[in-house]
A and B are shown apart, each in its own frame.
Chain A
């Protein structure tokens, strides 16, 4: 038997939006694994990302050395930092049956498994954003998620993560030990509060993928041109949004300032009047709300995360 066959290699894929700290979390995980004498990699996938655009980060962990630099297509563990991606991105793509999916959501794992059709997987949920807001006073869900990861996978100990976090923050927050304390607390709460369920079936559900079969070089237009106009409308940038503008038609004075400044032509006009917002393309920059006259205040920015909570609490 070759050395490779004996080796257990764990592959992890993080799903987040650029700016949510998934890359940092993957780095912390790799570092903690190294500290425990393991071999580890951490790498992000770069695309045309801007803050808010969906992105991925990856980890490889093993007891034995490994050398590949290829991307990860069949992960053992998927971590979803932003629960809104559950509805927009095929997060379970390639995830092995009985693999872990750890989601940042206040939903209990049974409900998550049901709602997002995750029966072939072990599902863990933790309200990482909630914990982060309480402990860190900011929505930085990656810290509690690392705690949850340690608990459910057992691949890394909470102590190592805590030691590593303390050391990493020591220099910067020497004068503010409470910041370090809060981070350790967030880790611990993620570890303690995560809940999980086992997989319900060994069968992977065949999913309808909307993916278009990519053409070969003989068929593609010469020179990489896009041979039709207006194709950017097909690219739904709405999932990049961290905040969403809420339009109140009652307060609107129809000055059209929002329509003028929106960089994504996402203000919907009917007969010259603002009637709403195209959430498929609104990136949540907030310019419309900023330009809306203070007397009208017809556009308010609401955090997508809180919007979900508002909906859930209703």
Chain B
């Protein structure tokens, strides 16, 4: 059990509203309720609606936010960094090339330990020009020191963005909440929205420990940091990421208590209790995978699925525990890494499993029984918006079942839905 920092009276069902919102609308709505001090953003497909709607909220006086319509994403993140350093609650949103343009600033935001929150609507990177979903942009930023939370649908995007504010401020780390471009950003789903006051109560007032505007305790931020200190500061950052794991669970628990939602954690499991084979994926495809798992379970096949919600920090121990006893694992990657050994999620999962003593199911967390590693196969899918169908997922499960039954794995790195 996670220790909860904050307990608030639960929001009643009557206070909630069920509305139809797209992923982008849900994120804009969350931003309106969060009412950040500063938003600096630049529109880019498929994130544009978030910025557009938020600008409208500003124009209509529905938020107190200082809105900075910058001339590029580089400036958007720069302005957020400046605002956060000054002690403001700062937010932005972007996609694809916009995230790529923020590249150097991402590291500055995390290095300065500024709790900036950003909605990232995942989209492929040029060339060639493609506006549709994949995770190349997000994966490019995976080692930038940002917490990365994937949302499956608009509800999760809305909930996660609110949680992200608290996570960021407690961990003193920036957080990106990721939705799949078009597939979620432009798809309208039922979303339960909480009252404004409740959201504001949940996130509370932001009281930064240090800020440039606290004149009574002046500080210098971002001075030159040479070989004699730089490494200690990077070590601190990793430690913050480690601590963030506990904070993410804590905030998930508090959120569930307050808003009466499911408990958000590192992952969500589908039929993993006695699964012989399993698929791990991120974002919207987790829904498709879940559908197929239920179909195949109805046929008596022991299949399961892991929806990974938090990619950074990577929940190694928790994932390994879940995968204990699974004989064949399929990892779905919506990005290629061009390493010629698989996509980014695959290499993480595989290295998490390597040499770890896998717990046998039904033993306690401290009793480890080595079982020998499961077979892990990578499927790169959905690049540039290529659809992932139920048939694709079923094909994966059938292959995994064959592997579990002893069929040799010839190549661990494969493509799904590509024309040969």
Which of A's residues lie within 8 Å of B, judged by CB? 47-48, 214-217, 220-229, 231
Contacts and interface: CB of A to CB of B under 8 A. Distances in A.
A215 B236 CA distance: 12
B229 A227 contact: no
A217 B111 contact: no
Nearest to B110: A223
Interface of B: 111-114, 172, 209-210, 217-226, 228-230, 232-233, 235-236, 239-240
Given A227-B210, A228-B218, A229-B218, A222 B236 contact: yes
A224 B223 contact: yes
B226 A225 contact: no
A47 B224 CA distance: 10
19 contacts: A214-B228, A214-B229, A215-B232, A217-B235, A217-B236, A220-B233, A220-B236, A222-B172, A223-B112, A223-B114, A224-B111, A224-B221, A224-B229, A224-B230, A226-B220, A226-B223, A227-B217, A228-B218, A229-B220
A222 B233 CA distance: 7
Nearest to B221: A225
B48 to A, nearest CB: 32
A231 B220 contact: yes
Nearest to B226: A47
B231 to A, nearest CB: 8
A240 to B, nearest CB: 15
Interface hub of B111, B222, B225, B232 (most chain A Cβ within 10 A): B232
Interface hub of B114, B172, B209, B233 (most chain A Cβ within 10 A): B233
Nearest to A215: B232
A222 B228 contact: no
Contact of B225 (A214, A217, A224, A229): A224
A227 B217 CA distance: 8
Contacts of A215: 232
Interface hub of A48, A214, A221, A231 (most chain B Cβ within 10 A): A221
A216 B239 CA distance: 13
B147 to A, nearest CB: 16
Contact of B219 (A47, A48, A217, A226): A226
A47 B227 CA distance: 9
Contacts of B113: 222-223
Contact of A227 (B111, B219, B236): B219
Nearest to B112: A223
Contact of B232 (A217, A228, A229, A231): A217
B175 to A, nearest CB: 16
Nearest to A225: B219
A303 B224 CA distance: 30
B224 A48 contact: yes
A276 B358 CA distance: 73
A222 B208 CA distance: 12
A217 B233 contact: yes
Contacts of A223: 111-114, 172, 210, 221, 233, 236
Contacts of A217: 232-233, 235-236, 239
B150 to A, nearest CB: 26
Given A216-B232, A217-B239, A225 B210 contact: yes
A54 to B, nearest CB: 14
B172 to A, nearest CB: 6
Interface hub of A221, A222, A224 (most chain B Cβ within 10 A): A224
Given A48-B224, A225-B219, A225-B221, A220 B172 contact: no
A148 to B, nearest CB: 32
Contacts of B223: 224, 226
Contacts of B210: 221-223, 225, 227
Contacts of B232: 215-217, 220
A72 to B, nearest CB: 14
A228 B112 CA distance: 16
A215 B229 CA distance: 9
Contacts of B239: 217
Contacts of A226: 219-220, 223
Nearest to B215: A229
Contacts of B230: 224
B106 to A, nearest CB: 15
Contacts of B219: 225-229
Contacts of A214: 228-229
B80 to A, nearest CB: 15
Contacts of A221: 210
A215 B223 CA distance: 17
A214 B210 CA distance: 22
A32 B392 CA distance: 67
B218 A220 contact: no
Nearest to A229: B218
A219 to B, nearest CB: 9
